[in-house]
Structures are given as structure tokens and as C-alpha cells.
Structure 1
Amino acid sequence: MARAAGMLGLLSLAPMVVFAASGASEVPLLGEEYLKDVGDYAKRIGDEAKELFKTPLEDWNFYGSYDHGLKVYWRPVKDNKLVIVRSYTEVQLSSGELFTLLASEEGAKILDDTTNHTDPPLATLDWKGRAEVSYSKTIPAKFPFGQRSFLKATFFDDEKQLLVSKSILRDDMPAGADGSTRAFNSFALRTRDLEPGTCSLEVLDYFDMRGWFPVWIANQFHRDTFCQSMHKRLWKALDARTKADPAVKMPSSVFDVLKRS
């Protein structure tokens, strides 16, 4: 889901990383399927995300620490050479405030700036919370990274402050009919209050770009770039809020975040 320039920059600047055999067990993920029973589907992918969030961070492979106390972890995915990435950070907002931001139109652009978010959902699903089916295409990239499209069902659970999104199948929008490669994505985030005015943000993300796309490039990009870029957009958005409202505070240093963990 990267722009070609960003990807080529990664390949030229980032060192080749060779990963040893993982000590963490493989993650089984639900694959693409037709959305027949919305309630059942929402429960299954929600349970999948909650089970992964329940596993201690120590059970994941630690990848690195970054600005604002962001920590990135990874685990292998069953029957696949691609990995699932998990990130953890703390934000000086309440859990509800942060979740509301990330579940908004502005939040969609924070979470992903490489696909178009201007089109309305294809369908609104009958579910206890907000749920919708959406279609998007990546911003066109140069050869050899052709354009990808995504068709996903997303569930916003305000009560549990959990967002879960996963690629689905639809007969009226078959893969390849739009002239692009249909990619797969499994994504979840949750926010949790830690102390008054502070919450944690955890993100799970797995994508399979499909078509011609070397595994090592996808994994390196995912761990080195995707999580960091997403959180940098979050810090930028929160910094803008801070300037607009001095009552909204950001951590002044990484130490301010780490000393609470």
C-alpha cells in the first residue's frame, strides 16, 4: 500500500534484514469469505482480534522502538511467509476520545493515506454498532508495483472501543474486474484507558498484496515503514489538536510515555 517512491526509497536506504526463526507461534487468520451472516462474521473476526490482543507482548517478536514510545512487534502467519504486525503506544487522550477520532473520516486518512476515502460505503450493514462495506484503490504506483484494490467489511464497536476490518468477497465486485490486483487486508485497533487522560493504542495489521510482490519486500516495508508512517500521521493530527486546544496535551518526550509503562 505504499507509493512507489517510498518503497524504492526503502529498498535503497534500509539495510537488508535477515530474521531468525521466530520463537512466537504462528497466527491463524480468517481468510476472505462471503458475508452471509453479519452478526456471526462480526463476532468471529472480533474474537480473532481480541484473542490476539490478549496475548502478552512478550510472546511476540520485538522489532523496534520509535518516536513517542511506539513499539512494534511481529509474528509469522500460519501457512504464509508474510507476517502480522502489532504496535503499542500511549496517547494523552481518553480512550473514547481517541477511538472517536480514529473511527471518523479524519481517522481513516490517519490510518491509511495511500487509498481513496472519498467514496461513500458500498453498503451499510445491519449490526449493533456501525458497520459498512467499502471499496478502495491504492494511489497509482509506478512499475513494478501495480495498483491494488481492496474490498472490506469494517465494524466499529464504540462500547468496546474496537475497530475490526477484513477483506471480503462479493459477486458483484469480483477480483480483477476493476483492472487491478485484489489485495487482502486484516486490520484491527483498540484503545484502553490507563489513567485519567491517558490511553493505550494497539494496532494489528496484516496484508497480502498478491500478484507480483516479493515477500521480503512486503515484510520489510510493513515492519519498517507502515506502522511508523501511520503513527506519524496520528502525532501530526494530535499536535494540530493541541495547537487548536491547549487543554489537549501531547507527551513531551519518549521518557514521559515510558515511565508510565
Structure 2
Amino acid sequence: MAEALSSSLGTTPRPATDEDFDYFKKLADIDKGWSRQYDSNGIVVWTQTSEVSSIKLLRVQYVFQDISADVLYDVIHDPDYRRVWDDHMIDGFEICTLDATNDIGYYSVKCPPGVTNRDFVNERSWRVNDEEYMIFNHTVYHKDHPEKKNFVRAFSYLTGYVLRPQENGACAFTYVTQTDMKGWIPAWLTNKAATFFAPKIIEKLHKASLGYVEWKKEHKPEFKPWLKPEQMTKPTPLEQLVVPDTTQQS
């Protein structure tokens, strides 16, 4: 199912369309094509093969009973708080914005000993309505941020979240990703590791969300550009970002 969205997004920056969001929502909601790999303590992990890569899509579903969708949405977005809870993060920052709901950012991550650290340049898109919060990203090329020494540039075909408010303040959570860590790591190992570590995503986000509201009170409480577009940096014209796409992912 992911082939159409992954191909249409491409690696040249552009704002996500309603069709892109609708397609991503289908990946999150429709079970056809997915194979259940794990089901325990309310956490369900699925995988799906893909024609665009030997890296499988991964989907994680869970209902947070004590975390609301709006808080979880803020936790996922807030770059300052990510430095608090994401102990794998080396660096992360906004490169530029495209419009009120699309930006491009840099993120680097620590890898285990013996494995070169990875980094990403991703475009991130988001949409909020009365029924759900959606965020997804994909790797793009940016002329001012080429590959760096001592890092392997990883590739996100598609990674994102759908968060839906439930009764009594609960949140139905779905995470979908297809990420190639590149380098010497074989696809079978990436697929196995992703499935094994997927449940830990729930644990990390749950712990981070429980502490967010109090933390935010002391750290720019009114600053939420993902909800207040007037706080965003000035958008960069697309023509300044277009670069030749000479590397086709397979």
C-alpha cells in the first residue's frame, strides 16, 4: 500500500496534500496487507512488505489510557522537550519552513558501539481536526545540508503518527514507519530489530507524556508553533530548495 505515497512524495520538498494525508491514514487504519507480529499488553505490532524497498513497513497500535491526544501531539512536536526525553538524540533542529504545516528538519541519532551514528534530513507535515492529529515525515534533499562526515545519512520513506481522542481523555495511537538505516546494516536485521524494539516506543512516549505538562509550564509555555502558525519562522520559497535528485532509493 505504501508505494504510491512513498513515490509521490519524492525527495524534492513540497507541501503535503490532502491526498497524501488520506493515504497515510489508510496505512494506519486498514489491516489489509499487514501481518500481525506481536500482540501483548494492548500493544499490537504489524509489518507489511513493500515494492519500494526490502525494508518492511512497521505499524504499532496502542491506546494510552492516561494520556490525552493533545498532550501526546505536543510531546511529539516539541523540539526542546525532545532533548529531555530522547536519550538517543545527538542533535535536532528546524532547517526551514515551507508553510504553516510543513517544515524541514535535521535529526541525528546515537547508534550502538561499532555502528556509525545516523542522521536524517526530513520534511515533516501535520494536520489537526476534530477527530484526529496526524504527523508524518519523509526524507528530502536540502542543498545546505549534504551528508556529513562521521554520519551515515539514513532514509525515511515514510514515518508518522495518527492520534485520536477517546472517551475519558484516552488516546488511540498509531505509529507507521518505513526507515532504511543505510550503511552496512542488512534489511533483514533492520526489519527484525524494528519489530523487536517497536513496543519500547510506547514506553518512551508514555513516560515523556506524563512529565510534559509540568515541564512546559516552565519552558516557554505559550510557544507552540505547531498549533500557532504565527510563531513559525518565515517560509522559504520552494525554488530556493530544489536541487537535482541524483540518488534514487531502491
Q: Same fold (TM over 0.5)?
A: yes
Give the aligned partner of residue 60 of structure 1.
Answer: 34
Give the 3 Å change call, closer, same or farther, for CA 90–79 of structure 1 in structure 2.
same
Give the 3 Å change call, closer, same or farther, for CA 53–142 of structure 1 in structure 2.
same
Q: In the TM superposition, what is the alpha-carbon distance from 1:53 to its structure 2 partner?
A: 1.9
Inter-partner Cα distance in structure 2 for 1:112 and 1:206: 20
Give the aligned partner of residue 231 of structure 1.
Answer: 202
Give the 3 Å change call, closer, same or farther, for CA 110–228 of structure 1 in structure 2.
farther
Letter of the structure 2 residue corresponding to residue 150 of structure 1: F
The question of 1:135 aligning with 2:111 is answered no
Task: Describe the superposition over 1:137-158 as per-residue Cα deviations: whole angstroms up to 9, x where unpaired.
Answer: 2225432x22222000112323
Unaligned runs of 5+ in 2: 216-250
Inter-partner Cα distance in structure 1 for 2:121 and 2:212: 32
Q: In the TM superposition, what is the alpha-carbon distance from 1:206 to its structure 2 partner?
A: 1.2
Task: Describe the superposition over 1:11-50 as per-residue Cα deviations: whole angstroms up to 9, x where unpaired.
Answer: xxxxxxxxxxxxxxx6315154111x42xx3545423312
Give the aligned partner of residue 48 of structure 1.
Answer: 23
The question of 1:71 aligning with 2:44 is answered yes
Give the 3 Å change call, closer, same or farther, for CA 113–155 of structure 1 in structure 2.
farther
The question of 1:88 aligning with 2:56 is answered no
Inter-partner Cα distance in structure 2 for 1:179 and 1:44: 37
Q: In the TM superposition, what is the alpha-carbon distance from 1:103 to its structure 2 partner?
A: 2.3
Give the 3 Å change call, closer, same or farther, for CA 44–168 of structure 1 in structure 2.
farther
Q: In the TM superposition, what is the alpha-carbon distance from 1:217 to its structure 2 partner?
A: 0.9
SS at match of 2:94: coil
Inter-partner Cα distance in structure 2 for 1:76 and 1:215: 12
Query: Is the contact between residue 110 and residue 233 of structure 1 (CA under 8 Å) also seen in structure 2?
Result: no
Inter-partner Cα distance in structure 1 for 2:124 and 2:106: 11
Inter-partner Cα distance in structure 2 for 1:204 and 1:94: 19
Alpha carbon RMSD of aligned pairs, Å? 2.9
Task: Describe the superposition over 1:92-111 as per-residue Cα deviations: whole angstroms up to 9, x where unpaired.
Answer: 23333332333223664699
Query: Is the contact between residue 73 and residue 133 of structure 2 (CA under 8 Å) also seen in structure 1?
Result: yes
Bigger share in strand:
2
Give the aligned partner of residue 6 of structure 2.
Answer: 30
Give the 3 Å change call, closer, same or farther, for CA 164–107 of structure 1 in structure 2.
farther
Task: Describe the superposition over 1:120-168 as per-residue Cα deviations: whole angstroms up to 9, x where unpaired.
Answer: 31112213x3x3211122225432x222220001123233410111111
Give the 3 Å change call, closer, same or farther, for CA 187–59 of structure 1 in structure 2.
same
Give the aligned partner of residue 207 of structure 1.
Answer: 179
Query: Is the contact between residue 91 and residue 200 of structure 1 (CA under 8 Å) also seen in structure 2?
Result: yes
Query: Is the contact between residue 64 and residue 206 of structure 2 (CA under 8 Å) also seen in structure 1?
Result: no
Q: 1:218 aligns with which of 183, 190, 195?
A: 190
Query: Is the contact between residue 75 and residue 212 of structure 2 (CA under 8 Å) also seen in structure 1?
Result: no
Unaligned runs of 5+ in 1: 1-25, 245-261
Query: Is the contact between residue 72 and residue 88 of structure 1 (CA under 8 Å) also seen in structure 2?
Result: yes
What TM-score results when the alignment is normalised by the length of structure 2? 0.71
SS at match of 1:122: strand
Structural mapping, 1:105-144, within 5 Å: 105=79, 108=82, 113-117=87-91, 119-127=92-100, 129=101, 131-139=102-110, 141-143=112-114
Give the 3 Å change call, closer, same or farther, for CA 187–238 of structure 1 in structure 2.
same
Inter-partner Cα distance in structure 2 for 1:241 and 1:216: 36
Give the 3 Å change call, closer, same or farther, for CA 229–94 of structure 1 in structure 2.
closer
Identity across matched positions, percent: 18
